[in-house]
Amino acid sequence: MKQLLSLLALIAALHAPHAAKQRPNIVLIMADDMGHADTGFTGSTDIRTPNLDRLAATGAVFEQGYVTHPFCGPSRAGIMSGRYQHRFGFETNPAYDPTNMQMGIAETERLVSTRLKTAGYTTGIIGKWHLGSAAPFHPNRRGFDFFYGFREGGHDYFRIDTIEAGEQHYLLPLERNNMPAVFEGYLTDTLTDEAVGFIERSKEQPFFLFLSYNAPHAPLQAPEEAIEKYAHIADPKRRVYAAMVDVMDQGIGRVVQTLEQQGVRENTLVFFLSDNGGPLAAPDKPHGGNGSSNGPWRGGKGDFYEGGLRVPMLANWPAAIQPGTSYPEPVISLDISRTIVELGGGETAAPEMEGVNLMPFLKQEKTGQPHKALFWRGYNHTLWSVLHNGKKYVKNKWDQPAELFDLNTDPAEQNNILNQSPESAATLKAMWDEWDEPNIPYQFWEFFQYNQKRKAFHKDAIPPEAKKARDAK
């Protein structure tokens, strides 16, 4: 019996490396605050993205690709957990506070990184985290073998200054596996360098790389030579924004080239998307926005209209995805999570991931819509959106009534048909209510509210005697 068991173990060991190599390497690339219309494959004519366009042409483009939230932190919590982030109360952007043990992605959530690491993948994240800055939320504690980047919501692209950190902490040192790190030159290039290094070190076994660029998120900064390439753009803000996108696209090209040089390109699945739509100027913020364009879609970052939720999204896997694939049905970032975990042989339960494996749909092994409906929620139950069979019911602002649109005939959401189709609105709202029932309230303040309360707390912490002495001076 012992000899039989030994023989079986030997056979398993001989087959294990081969089986592991059949699983794809996975590179998930996420842009930050990028407009839907700012890639060539989504219609841009003034910004050059040849590397993204090449990935799109030789892979699959999702014509209706959505994220789970119209701004950064919650959207990232959704794709990293593979679940609607409302299930665990991550509905606001966390402030940077390494002492706050509550303000981050719930420890009960098993992230994509953990699921793949458990399945035998080498895992790495490079760039922006924004899922909590205290120790329990650190990437190295949440399934990532390697982390180079920053835990805050953004970073200056050229410098570090530990004296002048700023309220949003965009000047803090970067980190390399929980140790302080510096960079020289332009941050986007540095993140690309680190991605290249990770691939070169990890090529011998399946790897998962989350390349989380902060470009083209504010502050609007780019190398002068990159900005000069876009002298034809009259708007100075969009000119810098275009340069930021351009440098990121060049970096993506270097990552793909590295995959080719290391001999792993054929069996590497690359996903690309933005974390939300591009931010736009508004009547109350005429100088806002980052110069991005969401094309025909209404609204932008922060909105539950298409412009806030619908993002450029593609998948490329030479071994499995037919070049020139265009997928028309609505999909959501949760599907990316489910797809890569299933393909990697990871566990999809405990808690159950909510996305759908997209590969059978891309291969036309499955037909129809992957989802009966897609759902969004903001600030508990006050804002919402639901999409079902092309009808979209949305409550976008506290002081505005809900609206109903038919995206089949009105994708730009210009014609509110609520009065003509109240029964459709009622049906969609009932679906949304059912989906919302297990959700919990958001678990921490939005970062600007939190910072206000933190200032007030410290001001109130001054002893009365000290206040009197200070006022007397």
Span 106-119, pLDDT tens digits: 999 999 999 999 99
With respect to residue 350, please indicate whether it lies within any of the assigned structural domains: yes
Instruction: Tell which phi-psi region holds residue 228, choosing left (phi > 0), alpha (psi between -120 and 50) or beta.
Output: alpha
User: Please, which pLDDT band fits residue 162 given cuts at 50, 70 and 90?
Assistant: confident
What the block records as the tokens of 135 is: 């120790």
Is the confidence at residue 188, as pLDDT, over 70?
Answer: yes
Known catalytic membership, residue 217: no
Specify the pTM: 0.93
> Which of 36, 69, 72, 169 is the catalytic position?
72
Shared-domain flag, residues 287 and 194: yes
Higher pLDDT among residues 288 and 117, named by residue? 117
Tokens 């953004």 correspond to 154
CB 231: neighbour CB atoms within 10 A? Answer: 8
Q: What is the mean pLDDT of residues 330-338?
A: 98
With respect to residue 300, please indicate whether it lies within any of the assigned structural domains: yes
Shared-domain flag, residues 153 and 202: yes
Is the confidence at residue 447, as pLDDT, over 80?
Answer: no
Share of the chain above pLDDT 90, in %: 85
Shared-domain flag, residues 419 and 462: no
Tokens 């080719």 correspond to 260
Shared-domain flag, residues 275 and 310: yes
pLDDT for 445 equals 81
pLDDT for 165 equals 64
> Which of 86, 130, 138, 169 is the catalytic position?
130
pLDDT for 111 equals 98
Shared-domain flag, residues 383 and 468: no
Higher pLDDT among residues 380 and 229, named by residue? 229
Closest of 273, 260, 343 to residue 309, by C-alpha: 273
Tokens 């959207």 correspond to 75
CB 304: neighbour CB atoms within 10 A? Answer: 22
Higher pLDDT among residues 78 and 169, named by residue? 78
With respect to residue 339, please indicate whether it lies within any of the assigned structural domains: yes
* Range of the structural domain that residue 470 is part of: 449-473
Number of domains in the chain: 3
Known catalytic membership, residue 72: yes
CA distance 175 to 424: 50
Report the range of poorest mean pLDDT among 21-30, 194-203, 265-274: 21-30
Closest of 391, 394, 401 to residue 378, by C-alpha: 394
Is the confidence at residue 230, as pLDDT, over 50?
Answer: yes
Closest of 330, 370, 369, 378 to residue 354, by C-alpha: 370
Sheet holding 391-395, edge to edge: 374-378, 383-388, 391-395, 403-406
Tell me what the pLDDT averaged over the chain comes to: 93
Is the confidence at residue 268, as pLDDT, over 90?
Answer: yes
Is the confidence at residue 473, as pLDDT, over 70?
Answer: no
CATH code for position 280: 3.40.720.10
